[in-house]
Structure 1
Amino acid sequence: MRKISSAICLFLLVGCGSSEQQPQASDAADQPSATDAAQAASPPVATAEPVAAPKRPLAELIKENVAGSEAAWGAKDIKKLGALYTQDAGFATWGMTGAKEEKGPEMLKGLEGFWAALAEVKLKTGRVIQSNDLAISEWVVTATTQDKKTLGVSGVSLMWFADDGRVKREQLYMDEQTTGMQMGEKSLRGRAPISAPASTEWVTVGNTADEKKNVETIKALYGALDKKDTKAFEGMLADDAVFSDMARPEDVKGKAKIKDDFGKFSKAFPDLKLETKQVIGAGKYVVVEGSWTGTMQGQLGPLKASKKNGTIHFVDVFELKDGKVAKLTTYSNGAEFAGAFLPPPPAKPAAKEPAKDAKPQPATKEPAAKK
């Protein structure tokens, strides 16, 4: 029985086939090639992402901007100068009516008008102090007017930079009265034309112990000024210290004369109060942006007491040596001082107009020439 049953099973397997279908050989075209198999076995190759260019240091971009500005001024190229500012750049100055805020296009339009009055013009930067995205640039503009007058005016710009090296905000301090005087306005007083610096000094904030010590020295100096403490003030000055107020015709030299100058100013403005907006130490320099407020209650040089109260904005650049002030350069606008404390200039008399009821006079006949 076992053999019969085995035979039946064999018959069923061979003759009738199994209930499961056996795989059949496929055509050669359907068989995967060796290359396809290798590709299937290999992982996909990742596509390389484009490598971004390394970000350039902002200090390097600031140097390029300063050089570009000098070139644009020399060429009177307002388009090239405008490209150095962001589209929404802000521009601030202080003058006869106080603070003035402009956008880039307004500033450039005004500058273009100034350039039109000049036969040639150059801008040269003497010193740049950088603190992160802020660059404090001391510069001199030299020029020749169309009527052959010579200009040499200094100023300082506080410029905040975007990551791409363009200026996003500038605050400019210079004396407009000096510019007006040099251009021929006899009623104004200011400095004689100065020469352009031969080179540019670059200083970067290092946050060193000496820089911090210098900052504390200058803060103490402003404290002495506020308290009218002439002895403490004098003690912070080097014997041969120089005070250069760029809104005044001449420097004050020597700590005794500087002390005396401060004393006269304190008498004219006995309620003088100083406010510092920022104090930055860099190397041997300390830069202060601030303002002072007071009432002109006494005479100041040829200027009589006006009893007017006002505020003046300034930038002070201190140079220290051995812990004492060797030089102080002040940038402010004499026009702001005049607007705040001085009476308005007398109005110019209007030209006389002929009376409305006046009758025209008959023309006088010339006598006939004798033959």
Structure 2
Amino acid sequence: MKQLLSTLLLSAAGALANADTGSANAQVATRWYQAFDKREPALIEQIVDARWVDIPSPEGMPPGPEGLKQIYTMLTSTFPDLRIEIKDVIEQGDKVVVRSEISGTQKTAFLGMPTKNRPLRIQAIDIHEVKGGKIVRTWHTEDWMTGLHQLGILGSP
């Protein structure tokens, strides 16, 4: 009985020691959301490659950290209470897929439309390609159709 108990305790300790806390690529990708959610724009330089590409990219946006800083500034000034909550992280090879929920209250003009001081809550899916410890490419899809309805830009919420 003592031997069985010892074996179970050692197995449990080994399982805890080997518990997967996320690969290095997943950790880099989740720091992206921390930069926005915790207002830590300095993380952008640490996690985004100089040649980072945003797909689809807004017209005229530069590649690399400068482009992401423009997005960061626009979103955090338009939605000062912006939150991005990670819901799921899936990894395959050098790609990390993150499903998140974006929320915030519009306080300044957005897409040329004045604020109505309304909140939004939308889903987003991002695929980050990580190489050498930095994000080199991000494909993203956000549910802006729902968000624009919630903000009163497209009809009634």
TM-score by length of 2: 0.76
- Displacement of 1:237 in angstroms is 0.5
Q: Unpaired segments of 5 or more residues in structure 1?
A: 1-208, 347-371
- Are 1:243 and 1:251, in contact at CA under 8 Å, matched by a contact in 2? no
1:274 aligns with one of 74, 79, 84: 84
Question: Does the alignment pair 1:212 with 2:27?
Answer: no
Change (3 A) 1:213 1:296: same
Which of the numbers 224, 230, 247 marks the counterpart of 2:41?
230
Partner residue of 1:300 out of 93, 110, 124: 110
Q: CA deviation at 1:288?
A: 0.4
Provide the secondary structure at the position in 1 that maps to 2:23.
helix
Distance 1:251 1:326 in 2: 18
| 1:303/1:254 CA distance change after superposition, 3 Å | farther
Per-residue Cα deviation, 1:50-74 (whole angstroms, up to 9, x for no partner): xxxxxxxxxxxxxxxxxxxxxxxxx
After superposition, the Cα gap between the structure-2 partners of 1:293 and 1:262, relative to the gap in structure 1 and judged at 3 Å, is: same
> 2:107 and 2:87 mapped to 1: Cα distance?
26
- Percent of matched pairs sharing the same residue: 23
Q: Identify the residue that residue 52 of structure 2 maps to in structure 1.
A: 241
Deviations 1:258-309 (A, max 9, x none): 2122111110011011111111121100000111110001123423222101
- The change in CA–CA distance for 1:237 and 1:249 in structure 2 (over 3 A counts) is closer
Runs of 4+ in 1 over 3 A off after TM superposition: 248-252, 343-346
Match of 1:332 in 2: 142
Give 1:251 deviation, angstroms: 7.7
Tell me, in whole angstroms, the C-alpha distance in 2 between the residues paired with 1:337 and 1:250: 21
> C-alpha distance in 2, partners of 1:242/1:249?
11
Which structure is higher in helix share?
2
Identify the residue that residue 73 of structure 2 maps to in structure 1. Answer: 263
Cα distance, 1:228 vs structure 2: 1.5
Change (3 A) 1:241 1:314: same
Q: Distance in 2 between matches of 1:255 and 1:283?
A: 23
Structure 1 residue 283 corresponds to structure 2 residue 93: yes
Higher RCO (CA-CA < 8 Å; seq separation 6+) = 2
Matches within 5 A, 1:36-47: none
SS of 2:36's equivalent in the other structure is: helix
> Which residue identity does 1:231 align to in structure 2?
A
1:289–1:314 CA contact under 8 A, matched in 2: yes
1:300-355 CA distances to partner (integer Å, 9 max, x unpaired)? 34232221012010111000111001011111233112111134449xxxxxxxxx
Segments of 5+ residues of structure 2 without an aligned counterpart are: 1-19
Amino acid at match of 2:80: P
Distance, in Å, in 2 between the alignment partners of 1:343 and 1:256 is 28
SS in 2 for 1:260: helix
Using structure 1 for the length normalisation, give the TM-score.
Answer: 0.34
Relative to structure 1, the CA distance from residue 296 to residue 277 in structure 2 (aligned partners, 3 Å threshold; closer, same or farther) is same
Q: Determine helix, strand or coil for the equivalent of 2:50.
A: strand
> Larger radius of gyration, structure 1 or 2?
1
Computed over aligned residues only, the root mean square deviation of the Cα atoms, in angstroms, reads 2.3
Q: Distance in 1 between matches of 2:81 and 2:107?
A: 9
Of 333-342 and 248-257, the range deviating more from structure 2: 248-257
